[in-house]
A = this chain, B = another copy of it.
Amino acid sequence: MRIAILAHEKFPDRAKTALGVLRYGDHDVAAVLDRDTAGKRVSDFVSDVQDAPIVAELADLEDEADELDALLIGISPIGGEFDESWRDDVRTALEYGCDVVSGLHYFLAEDEEFARLAEENGCELRDVRNPPEDLTVADGVAGEVDAEVILTVGTDCSVGKMTTTMELARDARQAGFDAAVIPTGQTGIMIEGWGNPIDRVVSDFTAGAVEEMITELGDEYDYLFVEGQGSIVHPAYSPVTLGILHGSMADKLVLCHEAGREAIHGYESFSLPSIPTYVDLYESIAEPVAEGRVVAGALNTAGLDDDAARQAVDEYAETLGAPATDVIRFDTDDVLEALR
């Protein structure tokens, strides 16, 4: 599938979905759209992902746009609104007959202009954050599957849960295990091509929507790596986190954190508790439903140099009393060992 990824004014640091698809998706990326960094290439910013040119708007692709299968919205502002400055690109994509794939809370299929253009040009608006209609409450049975269920939990949003999930699943596969990812957010769903957007599921069905995915795959794999969301103490998103924790009935937890982060992103008046407090909170709130233990850590050290990163990871492991790594920068051997 040949795609372009919209990431205006946010590539690469605030374009989590765009980066995730570049790194883990099996799409062929023709271009990233970012009017702020147009003219450069993905490889000017990030070295270990698929390279692609960065252009200011879809129309700049000219003839190449004709060969695109889809435009992916690769950024998601707080609240998940549609930014009107993206409208030209979405319109252009539809006029070229491209599908548009979006993880926004704002559903493109309900936008009158987009719906009309999609119909006229025979293409599809795919709102991956629009959950299926047939979800229901959890039965409390995810713990019965054969697979070891491993969940990434975090100290905050955007600390690396999705990345850690994808890296661990990939490395587990390379080590010869049958490992699947359980996608719970827009990026995971865009990468894997299936999944339930848990943050958009009604709160009564949150755990059930996770359980449904676990029981669907759980007897066919050795390991299920569940993409975690948010944080158990996030002022807005904690219900999503807890629904995934209880719905997955995870056996093992990997605590994800970003080196140096001290306050909730976007909610700076809320300080992060200590790492041991997070471990206690996740384990104690999990236990009455399923005894999930924090057995490893993943530290995002993107802001540090190599020496500082190594030291930060070592300190993080010591604090956790468990193996830790930066899944992008270092290997995952010790962490995978802890997950067996």
Instruction: State the A residues within 8 Å of B (CB).
Output: 78-80, 105, 136-140, 198-204, 206-208, 232-240, 242-243, 246, 249, 264, 267, 269-273, 277, 280-281, 284-285, 287-289
Closest approach, in angstroms, between the C-beta of A158 and any C-beta of chain B?
A: 14
Select which of B78, B270, B271 is within 8 A of A140 by beta carbon.
B270
Closest approach, in angstroms, between the C-beta of A234 and any C-beta of chain B?
A: 8
Q: Cβ of B235 and Cβ of A246 under 8 Å apart?
A: yes
Cα distance A140–B268 when bound, in Å?
10
Closest approach, in angstroms, between the C-beta of A139 and any C-beta of chain B?
A: 8
* A232 in contact with B136 given A200-B202, A203-B201 (CB within 8 Å): no
Q: Cβ of B235 and Cβ of A239 under 8 Å apart?
A: no
Closest approach, in angstroms, between the C-beta of A247 and any C-beta of chain B?
A: 8
- Residues of chain B with a CB closer than 8 A to A243's CB: 203, 238-239
Q: Cβ of B267 and Cβ of A140 under 8 Å apart?
A: yes
Q: Cβ of B288 and Cβ of A233 under 8 Å apart?
A: yes
- Which 10 A/B pairs are nearest by Cβ-Cβ distance? A140-B235, A239-B239, A233-B288, A239-B243, A138-B236, A199-B204, A206-B239, A137-B236, A203-B240, A203-B239
Number of copies of this protein chain within its complex: 2
Cα distance A10–B273 when bound, in Å?
46
Nearest to A131 among chain B residues (CB) is: B202
Cα distance A287–B284 when bound, in Å?
15
Select which of B267, B272, B285, B287 is within 8 A of A285 by beta carbon.
B285
Q: Cβ of A199 and Cβ of B199 under 8 Å apart?
A: no
Q: Cβ of B238 and Cβ of A246 under 8 Å apart?
A: yes
Q: Cβ of A204 and Cβ of B200 under 8 Å apart?
A: yes
Cα distance A45–B237 when bound, in Å?
43
Cα distance A78–B137 when bound, in Å?
8
Q: Cβ of A137 and Cβ of B203 under 8 Å apart?
A: no
Closest approach, in angstroms, between the C-beta of A131 and any C-beta of chain B?
A: 8
Closest approach, in angstroms, between the C-beta of A281 and any C-beta of chain B?
A: 6
Q: Cβ of A207 and Cβ of B236 under 8 Å apart?
A: yes
Closest approach, in angstroms, between the C-beta of A153 and any C-beta of chain B?
A: 13
Q: Cβ of B200 and Cβ of A199 under 8 Å apart?
A: no
Q: Cβ of A140 and Cβ of B79 under 8 Å apart?
A: no
- Residues of chain B with a CB closer than 8 A to A249's CB: 235
Q: Cβ of A284 and Cβ of B280 under 8 Å apart?
A: yes
Cα distance A285–B282 when bound, in Å?
9
Cα distance A246–B206 when bound, in Å?
17
* A238 in contact with B270 given A232-B285, A233-B285, A233-B289 (CB within 8 Å): no
> What are 28 A-B interface contacts by the 8 Å CB criterion?
A78-B137, A79-B136, A80-B204, A138-B236, A139-B267, A140-B236, A140-B267, A140-B269, A200-B202, A201-B203, A202-B202, A202-B203, A203-B206, A203-B239, A203-B243, A207-B235, A207-B237, A232-B242, A233-B288, A238-B289, A239-B240, A242-B242, A270-B288, A270-B289, A277-B284, A277-B288, A280-B284, A285-B285
Q: Cβ of A202 and Cβ of B199 under 8 Å apart?
A: yes
- Residues of chain B with a CB closer than 8 A to A269's CB: 140
Interface centre among A203, A206, A234, A271, by most chain B C-beta atoms within 10 angstroms, is A203
